[in-house]
Amino acid sequence: MLQVKLPRADGTLARYTLRPATTWPASPGKPQWNRIAFAAAHVVADPFAAVNPWLTAALDWDATLAFRRHLWAHGFAVAEAMDTAQRGMGLDWPTSLELIQRSVAESRAIEGAVVFCGAGTDHLAASATTTLDQVVAAYEEQCAAVEAAGGRIILMASRALAACAQSPDDYAYVYGRVLAQIREPVIVHWLGEMFDPA
């Protein structure tokens, strides 16, 4: 059995024996929950792709979508293209959009599958002269793309908005403009400084 050493409150280490891996059976039919639990699923890199992984993302699409099917089989909804390891720190907007399109298409074949998709401003090259209207336009572009793919929207926090906003009224202006155009209810997502100190 595999063991790891874990710290105790007094600073000493205690050995902990890991349990054997367990395979959980998929739920028979759609789970009957009164809540939706979202999984911000990671992507699976293609280790054999002939690309520089620092410059270009190469995904193993089959494995990436198989993991989403696994999550749906256990009753989870998928929060697609959300993880901070993906957006702005690994996946560019074109690859994120392809991920959204593929995941939404895959969800259509699975009864009860729920997928919401991150829409933000990470494709906007923000600078000291970035305006609120440029932030609105960036949000509009991604929201329109998610809706065109048939996805529901999770409106992600925007580094560009955080950099150019001067007051709470600026946030109300941007969110008001963007949300007024979206066809269905959205989830507004905010990480906070602990997760995104930039």
In-domain check, residue 23: no
Please tell me the predicted confidence (pLDDT) of residue 1. 75
In-domain check, residue 63: yes
pLDDT > 70 fraction of the chain, expressed in percent and rounded: 89
Please state at what angle helix 93-107 crosses helix 132-149, rounded to 10 degrees: 30
Domain extent, residue 179, equals 35-188
Mean of the pLDDT values across residues 24-48?
81
CATH code at position 66: 3.20.20.70
Alpha-carbon Rg for the chain, nearest whole angstrom, is 20
Please tell me the predicted confidence (pLDDT) of residue 54. 78
Model pTM score:
0.82
Q: How confident is the model at residue 25 (pLDDT cuts 50, 70, 90)?
A: confident
pLDDT averaged over the chain?
89
Per-residue pLDDT tens over the stretch 52-86: 877 888 899 999 999 999 999 988 999 999 865 45
In-domain check, residue 9: no
Per-residue pLDDT tens over the stretch 124-136: 988 889 999 999 9
In-domain check, residue 141: yes
In-domain check, residue 91: yes
Number of domains in the chain: 1
Mean of the pLDDT values across residues 161-168?
92
In-domain check, residue 20: no
Sign of the CA dihedral running 134, 191, 89, 57: negative
Residues forming beta bridges with residue 91, ordered by sequence position: 87
Q: Are 119 and 85 in contact (CB under 8 A)?
A: no
Please tell me the predicted confidence (pLDDT) of residue 125. 86
Centroid of chain to Cα 61: 16
In-domain check, residue 58: yes
Q: Are 174 and 150 in contact (CB under 8 A)?
A: no
pLDDT at position 33 over 80:
no
Q: Are 64 and 49 in contact (CB under 8 A)?
A: no
In-domain check, residue 12: no
Higher per-residue pLDDT: 105 or 25 = 105
> Which tokens hold the place of 167?
């007051």
> Which tokens hold the place of 72?
């749906």
Using CA atoms in the order 148, 154, 160, 163, what is the torsion angle rounded to 10 degrees? 160
Mean of the pLDDT values across residues 101-122?
95
